[in-house]
Amino acid sequence: MNLLKETINRENTRSAKYDFREKLFGREDILPMWVADMDLPAPKELQEAIIKRAEHNLYGYTTHDNQLLSIIQNWVKRRHNYSIDPDQITFSPGVIPALHALVQAFTDEGDQIVIQPPVYPPFFSVIQNHKRELIKNPLLYEGGQYKINFAQLEEQFKNGAKAFILCSPHNPVGRV
């Protein structure tokens, strides 16, 4: 295992985490722990693959092929012992665009959607922006760790909640 041995200074690199502290918090001398952004270099293999692709020098629209679907299927099988149908695999440019699409696909205006604060702020707005009712199932802080309030969650579904957006690993508390 290659342990990180270098410190990477991300100041003045347009890193939202560092370069927007003044704008967001009114000062720059705080630890930027408000966003899930790692200060670790990407694996060398990933860097090399990106460089190789960039050397092609045309950046038009791309698609995926059966080889990529097979790689995903094999990873899920190895990691979770679960066989996934490749027709069930959908790609998204990011978590938040996927949440918008899922909220619109599986719920209607006025439907109740449950989230578990404290949680990544876009979880709130993705529900409210699509005119769904936000239902909070706050995590319980017990014995130095956060836990799900399953009794309340069950009641919320009995009372009409249509969907539940689970953040796992939970951001910001880090629980899986």
Beta strands in the chain (DSSP E): 112-115, 133-136, 140-142, 145-147, 161-164
CA distances from 102 to 98, 107, 120, 127 (A): 6, 8, 17, 10
Region 155-174: mean pLDDT is: 93
pLDDT at 52 over 70: yes
What pLDDT is recorded for position 1? 47
Taken in order 171, 84, 94, 51, the sign of the CA dihedral is: positive
What pLDDT is recorded for position 30? 87
CA distances from 14 to 18, 22, 77, 171 (A): 8, 13, 38, 23
Query: ∠ CA 89-76-126 to the nearest 5 degrees?
Result: 50
pLDDT at 151 over 60: yes
**What's the gap between Cα 87 and its chain centre?**
22
Q: Residue 135: name the closest of 95, 107, 101 by CA.
A: 107
What pLDDT is recorded for position 176? 87
**Least confident segment among 3-7, 24-28, 54-58, 131-135:** 3-7
What pLDDT is recorded for position 2? 54
Q: Over the stretch 73-122, which tens digit does the pLDDT of each residue have?
A: 999 999 999 999 999 999 999 999 999 999 999 999 999 999 999 998 89
What pLDDT is recorded for position 37? 80
Q: Over the stretch 6-51, which tens digit does the pLDDT of each residue have?
A: 778 888 999 988 988 888 889 988 888 777 687 888 899 999 999 9
Contact (CB, 8 A) for 109 and 133: no
According to DSSP, the β-strands at 161-164 and 133-136 are unpaired
Region 52-74: mean pLDDT is: 92
